[in-house]
Amino acid sequence: MRRPIREFLGAVQFLTRIPLPQRWLGEIALAQAAPYFPLVGVLLGLAGAGVDVALRAHLPATGAAAVSVALLIVITGALHEDGLADTADGFGGGTTAERVLGIMRDSRIGSYGAIAIALSVLLRTAFIAALPNREVFAYFVSAEMLSRWSVLPLAYFLPSARQGGPTAGQGARLARAIPVTAVVFGTLIAIIVTVASLHADSWRPWAVCLPIIAASGLYFWRRISGVTGDCFGAVIQLTATAVYLCGAWR
């Protein structure tokens, strides 16, 4: 199987819980698969939008949106929700970098994490329900794609907040391991997809996601001098929610 296909499948394996035969993957480093993260987001967006549009003919918009959000959570194995919860607990309860990282490593969910997950699900459901029917596919694809793209600039600019070793986690496999060519490739995909989806309004999701990514990166750098896999998950959730809000805002 050609290497680009294996790298794309590696991105699918990392970002979703879709079972793939190991023989299709080979030895692919996570950093090699990272440029294809936006394409995985496109597929997730199409899946969510397809379910939402199909159900809007039979359910209230809020019910259809709730089912589509639930579908995406199942497909991704709640990977990003888990990262959001750990990040909220860590930064909410820790006063030093060591304490923040220690709390984030704890598998238990605290009050901050539970509230963060609840708000994420509720807000995404509400904003998706408010999307005009004609823009459902455009904003689903843009939100899920740009949220996965957010990993690329964060991983390129920020080092791992954890030292090496078995406790370093997934973030260490990406932080400062992505070449600039990968960022450029992923960014071109993201630009092409948003322009094709939203045409003259393609600047709108970028206008909300770029400040969130930049502010998050700066915050992570100041608090823990780097980034973790949980931080990536949290920014994915924040970015997706913001893009859905952008589509719902009138």
pLDDT of 224 reads 96
Give the other-Cβ count within 10 Å of 210's Cβ.
14
Decide: helix, strand or coil at residue 246: helix
pLDDT of 168 reads 59
pLDDT of 163 reads 74
pLDDT of 107 reads 85
pLDDT of 31 reads 83
CB within 8 Å of 197: residues ≥ 6 apart: 137, 138, 139, 141, 142
pTM: 0.94
Token couple for 192: 């092409």
pLDDT, tens digit only, all 250 positions of the chain: 587 888 898 899 899 999 887 766 666 678 889 999 999 999 999 999 999 999 999 999 999 999 999 999 999 999 999 999 999 999 999 999 999 999 999 888 999 999 999 999 999 999 999 999 999 999 999 999 999 999 999 999 999 998 765 455 677 788 888 999 999 999 999 999 999 999 999 999 999 999 999 999 999 999 999 999 999 999 999 999 999 999 999 8
pLDDT of 23 reads 66
Single out the residue of 81, 207, 199, 192 nearest to residue 145, CA to CA: 192
Q: Please give the Cα distance from 107 to 166 (Å, whole number).
A: 16
Single out the residue of 87, 235, 45, 239 nearest to residue 155, CA to CA: 235
CB burial readout 216-248, b (16+ within 10 A) else e? bbeebeebbebbbbbbbbbbbbbbbbbbbbbbb
φ, ψ for residue 78, nearest 5 deg? 55, 25
Q: Please give the Cα distance from 14 to 39 (Å, whole number).
A: 13
